[in-house]
């Protein structure tokens, strides 16, 4: 688990043969007025992170401005934008998954373990939490499928909620006990991906010291 201030992914020369990597991060700090744009602090911190990041074969963000602005502040052009489940309230209703956005898991002693347990409880009956996690993990897998032969890196900038559900959905059998809490600004995970078969095989969490919800 990365615990440094802005811990970067391993250098390209250290990547495992035939493996590619998906780096998922939450957007940077946004303005305090409830808007979707980044604050100046958010721009500065994203720029600092970007100095040691990349290169990426593809940069993808959610459709919301703060996600795109984070990638650009890091120094990378955005190749693709996605409408994810948590960014589209109409899709909640259409898919009947509004209940999946219950955030009480965030207040547990081990939040990501709690989320993983709640998702696993709904696996048998394909409940809303399970469907949301599976859908988001499927989006990530689709992003990585063209790069299954490796070694490439793809960056995805998203949002709290999306990232935690997607991460558990991508690695449902992992040991979630030491994954910690939900992601603060610029935090996320580095997932190892293999194309034979197409799947995520492991993850390292990317933490930013002193990050706060924003």
* Boundaries of every domain in the chain: 18-206
Choice between 94 and 161, residue whose per-residue pLDDT is larger: 161
Categorize the per-residue pLDDT at 17 as very low, low, confident or very high, splitting at 50, 70 and 90. Answer: low
Mean pLDDT over 28-40 rounds to 86
| % of residues, the chain, pLDDT over 70 | 79
Mean pLDDT over 149-164 rounds to 93
Categorize the per-residue pLDDT at 117 as very low, low, confident or very high, splitting at 50, 70 and 90. Answer: very high
What is 18-206's CATH topology? Rossmann fold (3.40.50)
Tell how far CA 71 is from the center of its chain: 13
Q: How many CB atoms lie within 10 A of CB 62?
A: 22
- The answer to whether residues 150 and 18 touch, using CB atoms and an 8 Å cutoff, is yes
Top mean pLDDT of 11-15, 99-103, 104-108 is at 104-108
pLDDT at 74: 98
Categorize the per-residue pLDDT at 203 as very low, low, confident or very high, splitting at 50, 70 and 90. Answer: very high
pLDDT at 139: 94
pLDDT at 148: 86
Q: Which two tokens stand for residue 52?
A: 């040691």
Average pLDDT, the chain: 83
pLDDT at 101: 53
Q: How many CB atoms lie within 10 A of CB 38?
A: 26
Contacts of 77 (CB under 8 A, 6+ apart): 59, 71
């Amino acid at each position: 688990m990365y615990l440094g201030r802005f811990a970067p992914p391993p250098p390209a020369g250290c990547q495992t043969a035939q493996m590619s990597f998906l780096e998922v991060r939450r957007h940077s700090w946004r303005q305090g007025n409830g808007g979707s744009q980044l604050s100046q602090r958010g721009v500065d911190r994203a720029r600092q992170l970007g100095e040691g990041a990349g290169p990426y074969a593809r940069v993808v963000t959610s459709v919301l401005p703060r996600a795109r602005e984070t990638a650009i502040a890091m120094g990378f052009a955005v190749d693709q934008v996605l409408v994810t489940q948590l960014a589209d309230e109409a899709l909640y209703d259409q898919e009947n998954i509004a209940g999946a956005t219950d955030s009480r898991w965030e207040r547990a002693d081990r939040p990501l373990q709690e989320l993983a347990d709640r998702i696993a409880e709904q696996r048998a009956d394909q409940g809303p939490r399970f469907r949301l996690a599976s859908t988001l993990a499927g989006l990530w897998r689709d992003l990585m499928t063209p790069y299954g032969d490796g070694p490439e890196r793809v960056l995805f900038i998203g949002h709290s909620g999306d990232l935690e559900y997607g991460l558990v959905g991508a690695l449902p059998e992992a040991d979630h006990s030491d994954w910690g809490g939900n992601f603060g600004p610029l935090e996320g995970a580095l997932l190892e991906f293999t194309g034979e078969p197409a799947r995520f095989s492991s993850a390292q969490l990317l933490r930013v010291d002193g990050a706060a919800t924003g």
